[in-house]
Amino acid sequence: MKPLKTWPNPWQLKHSRPVYDNAWLRLDEDEVINPGGGISHYGKVLFKNIAIGIIPLDADNNTWLVGQYRYVPDRYSWEIPMGGGPLHIDPLDSAKRELKEETGLSADGWQELMHLHTSNSVTDERSIVYVARGLHEGKTEFGETEDLQLIKLPLEEAVARVMSGEITDAISVASLLALARQLET
């Protein structure tokens, strides 16, 4: 497949200042010259971790979803297992840790499925999603902030839940649809 054409950056940075900083992210405010030549202020959320997603897939094409109440959107959410991987750690090592923590599963085989930018108009967050196969069950190791529920279901049903709007997490939606498409071909 031929790559799509790209263009040079039309934005010019005049000044940047940090506004907020914690263990997970930093918020900067940039004063820029926008593509039209005017002055704009741009807020940037800079993440200190890579978002790591995992689709565990058994020999019968069953997968696991994690349910939890998400504080910021103030709603319960069903998602693929996921978490943050420190930037200085191999993302696959972070994926193995997250899968074990949230599902108790470990895997013999790992396939990188996709890279995503979750909300590229305001954040530099990037995500890597893996498919884990050759699964072995074990004990979960939930973190202090995790109150999780797990369900095992056919991948086809997870995709149906995406299409019905029940699953809305962007990383989960994109990766479940991508894997389903990949398995069709």
pLDDT, residue 162, reads: 98
How many angstroms separate the CA atoms of 144 and 181, rounded? 36
pLDDT, residue 39, reads: 97
pLDDT, residue 63, reads: 98
Assigned domain for 61 exists? yes
Token readout for 117 is: 């930018």
Residues 53 and 42 in one domain: no
Residues 140 and 168 in one domain: yes
Residues 42 and 54 in one domain: no
- pLDDT per position as a tens digit, 15-30: 999 999 999 999 999 9
Report how far apart, in Å, the C-alpha atoms of 150 and of each of 7, 41, 75 are: 44, 42, 17
> Could you tell me the residue range of the domain that residue 111 belongs to?
49-184
Average pLDDT on 91-117 reads 97
Q: Is the CB of residue 39 less than 8 Å from the CB of residue 27?
A: no
pLDDT, residue 131, reads: 98
What are the phi and psi torsion angles at 127 (to 5°)? -135, 145
Edge-to-edge strand order for the sheet containing 25-33? 12-21, 25-33, 39-47
Among residues 68, 41, 56, the alpha carbon closest in space to that of 129 is found at 56
Assigned domain for 6 exists? no
Residues 28 and 70 in one domain: no
Assigned domain for 25 exists? yes
Residue of 112, 141, 146, 166 with catalytic role:
146
Place of tokens 């997490």: 169
pLDDT, residue 3, reads: 87
Which range, of 22-31, 71-80, 124-133, 138-147, averages the lowest pLDDT? Answer: 138-147
Give the orientation angle of helix 155-163 with respect to helix 170-184, to 10 degrees.
130
146 is catalytic: yes
Residues 35 and 59 in one domain: no
pLDDT, residue 108, reads: 98
Average pLDDT on 111-121 reads 95
At residue 141, does pLDDT exceed 90?
no
How many angstroms separate the CA atoms of 71 and 75, rounded? 7
pLDDT, residue 19, reads: 97
Q: Is the CB of residue 90 less than 8 Å from the CB of residue 128?
A: no
Total domains present in the chain: 2
Mean pLDDT (the chain, rounded): 95
Assigned domain for 3 exists? no
